[in-house]
Amino acid sequence: MKKVLILGGYGNFGSKIAILLVKNQINIIIAGRNKNKAILLQQALLEQYQADVEIMIGELNLENVAIVINTAGPFIDINYDIAKMCIIHKVHYIDLADGRDFVCNITELDEMAKKAEVAVISGASSVPALSSAVLENFKHHFSSLDSLIFGISPGQKAQRGLATTKGILSYLGKSLKSVANSKKSRYGWQDLYCIKYPMLGYRFMSNCDSPDLDLFYRQYQIKKIQFSAGMESGLLHLGIWFCSWLVRFGLIKNIEKYSETLLNLSHYFNFLGTDAGGMNMIMQGKDFNNREKIIKWFIIIKNGHGPQVPTIPAIILTKKILAKQFARVGAFPCCAVISLSEYLAELADFDYEIITEFL
C-alpha cells in the first residue's frame, strides 16, 4: 500500500497532520533533516496509536509514495524542486505555503502536472483554502463584492513555528507588492489598526502578504482587498510594529537571522495572553436589489487549537485523493477547492465557534 510522506513531519504543522492521518488509519512517512525529532514523534505515534510509522532522513525516496505533503516552509523563495520531483515520479503534491508568489505561480507546473496526471496543490492552508471557502459560501448574497477586509490573530499561548516566524520577518518593514486597484504603498506589519473579535475583544492588526491578494481579485473581482495579521498581546504586536519602522528606515539589517531568538523571546509574553485566536472576514458589496450589504464572518478557536486550522486542507485533500474522490489534475492554488462545510466538518473534534453577522 502506498504511503503519504510528510516533509517536515515533526514540525509545528507537520506533526499535527501526522497525528490526524494516523487517526484515519493512513500510513505515513515522517521526512526531514532532524533524525532525533523524527524518532521522538515516531515513538509517540507508536505508543499512542499503535501506528507503524516510517521515518526518512535526508534525501527523499518517493518509491511507494502516493502523496507528498510539504510543510517545510517558509515558502519565501520560489523553489519548486520538490513539486517537480513529485511530478516526475507521478506522486501527488500538497503544500501549506502562504507565500504570495510561491502559491500564485505554482501554475507554472500545470502542463507538466497534467501530463503526469497528478495534482500539485499549493496554499492548502488557512489562506487561501479557508478564506476562499468562506467567500464561496457567501458570494451568492452579493451581486458585486466591493471590499474584503480579512485577517488572522492567533492566541498568544498557541504553538508557534520557526518557519512562520521566518516568513513574517522576511517582509517586516519591507515594501510589499501592490494590491489590484490600489496605488497605495504597503509595508510589512504597518498600517496599524484594531478589530473587535467576538468573545476575544480588540486586537491590533497590521499588513501581511497573502496569495489571496492576487487570487481573489481574479476569482471574485473584489475591488478592494486588505489582509492583516495580529498578535494577541498588544505589547508584542506594537514591539514588532516598532521594529518594522527600524527595518523600513534601514536601521536593522537582515532581521530574519534573529528568527529563532525572537521566537524564543516571544514565549516570555505568554502570561499576557490566552490560547484563543481567531480569523475574520468582512465582506462588503451590493445585494441583488443594489443595496449595501455587509457580512462579517468569524471563526474563534479555543484551547490552543488554532494551529490545527491550517492543517485541515491537507487532511481533506489527502483523504479525497486516496479514496479516488479528487479527479482534478494539474498545478493550481488551493483556492475554491474545498467547501466551508467540508472544512468545518474536519474541524469537528476541535474547540471552535463560528459567528456570522449580516448587516
Closest by CA to 1, choosing from 29, 20, 23, 31, is 29
Statement: residue 43 has pLDDT above 80: yes
pLDDT tens digits along 199-216: 999 999 999 999 999 999
pLDDT tens digits along 89-106: 999 999 999 889 999 999
CB 283 within 8 A of CB 142: yes
Instruction: Show contacts of 188-194: CB within 8 Å, 24+ apart.
Output: 188/244, 189/240, 189/241, 189/243, 189/244, 190/241, 190/244, 190/245, 190/248, 191/228, 192/241, 193/228
Between CA 40 and CA 31 the distance in angstroms is: 13
Between CA 181 and CA 188 the distance in angstroms is: 19
pLDDT tens digits along 56-77: 998 899 999 999 999 987 777 7
Q: Which three cell numbers stand for residue 173?
A: 518593514
Strand intervals (E) in 275-333: 277-286, 292-301, 330-333
Strand intervals (E) in the chain: 3-7, 28-32, 54-57, 65-70, 92-95, 119-122, 144-153, 193-197, 201-207, 224-229, 277-286, 292-301, 330-333, 352-358
Between CA 171 and CA 161 the distance in angstroms is: 17
3-state secondary structure of 124: coil
pTM: 0.94
Q: Which three cell numbers stand for residue 231?
A: 498578535
For strand 92-95 and strand 119-122, is the pairing parallel, antiparallel, or unpaired? parallel
pLDDT band at 308 (very low <50, low <70, confident <90, very high): very high
Q: Which three cell numbers stand for residue 245?
A: 519602522
Query: What is the location of CATH 3.30.360.10 in the chain?
Result: 127-305+350-358
3-state secondary structure of 147: strand
CA 219, chain centre distance (Å): 19
CATH number of 127-305+350-358: 3.30.360.10
- Residue for grid cell 492543517: 311
Query: What is the location of CATH 3.40.50.720 in the chain?
Result: 3-125+307-338
CB 108 within 8 A of CB 331: yes
Where is average pLDDT lowest: 110-124, 133-147, 175-189, 219-233? 175-189
CATH 3.40.50.720 fits 3-125+307-338, yes or no: yes
